[in-house]
Amino acid sequence: MIIRMKMSFYSYVILITLINYAFTKPHLEAVSRRDTEHFADDPERHDIEFDHNAFLGEETAKEFSQLTPDESEEKLKVIIGKIDKNNDKNITESELKAWIEYIATKTKQNSTDRQWNDINPTNNYSIKWKEYLEKTYGPEEERLKDIETSESYKEAVRHDRRRWVAADLDKDDSLNKTEFADFVHPEDRPNMREAVIEELLESVDKDKDGYVSEKEYLSKLKFM
């Protein structure tokens, strides 16, 4: 029973964190292999830091990396106390799941806040599409001048535009902060479902023929 609970919780951690990494709005530059692969089934390549971030949150995980073993132990006791909602000195699977969901939500909120503030430092009520493009990618003419990056720029803008339209509930071609949160983290928002599915299918359809072959499907599973 103990082993089954551990496996269930471990799988849950992987699921939550993979969803976040898979659909968080990426920058134009390619995401590193380490950011997209966890290697959960390969002990030699297993990314422990990935697990730490899922359990602690990225900022708290960074704090832990600077602490001594004794300091880490004391801080971990505080966190365990927060997880143990009924104060029975035992951590149940449901308590662990609730904690991971809390950390995932907090991480998404922090990510949204950072990107919102970067693009909108004066904290206007909403961000216009053209303003977003300029702040995110720089002047379009500069991007299109570089032959090596122009195609990836066009593809990134196309993906962004699809998400933007889906997130723009009032159809004013601007996003307020709530809509922007859907744009950045669309994975659990009903209005973003179609955009997310299309994005995922495009990432699998490597030959761009509009279909997902068995080979493409299996290749994607192997990569994940």
55-93 pLDDT tens trace: 777 777 788 788 888 888 898 888 889 999 999 988 899
- Better-predicted residue by pLDDT, 220 or 158: 158
Give residue 5's pLDDT.
39
- Is the per-residue pLDDT at 201 higher than 90? no
Q: What is the mean pLDDT of the chain?
A: 78
Sequence-distant (≥ 6) Cβ neighbours of residue 56 within 8 angstroms? 64, 79, 103
Q: Where are the alpha helices (DSSP H) in 24-66?
A: 33-36, 48-56, 58-65
Q: How far apart, in whole angstroms, are the C-alpha atoms of residue 188 and residue 108? A: 11
Q: Which residues contact 147 (CB under 8 A, 6 or more apart)?
A: none
Does the pLDDT value for residue 207 go beyond 90? no
pLDDT given for residue 92 in this prediction: 92
**Is residue 19 pLDDT above 70, yes or no?**
no
Pair of tokens at residue 74 = 């004391």
Q: What is the pLDDT of residue 142?
A: 81
**How would residue 98 be classed by pLDDT, with cut points 50, 70 and 90?**
very high
pLDDT tens-digit series, residues 159-172: 999 999 999 999 99
Instruction: Determine which of 45-54, 60-69, 124-133, 179-188 has the lowest per-residue pLDDT on average.
Output: 45-54
Contacts by residues 127-131 (CB-CB < 8 Å, ≥ 24 positions apart): 127/174, 127/175, 127/180, 128/173, 128/174, 129/161, 129/164, 129/173, 129/174
Q: Residue 222: pLDDT band by 50, 70, 90 thresholds?
A: low
Q: Which residue has the higher pLDDT, 17 or 117?
A: 117
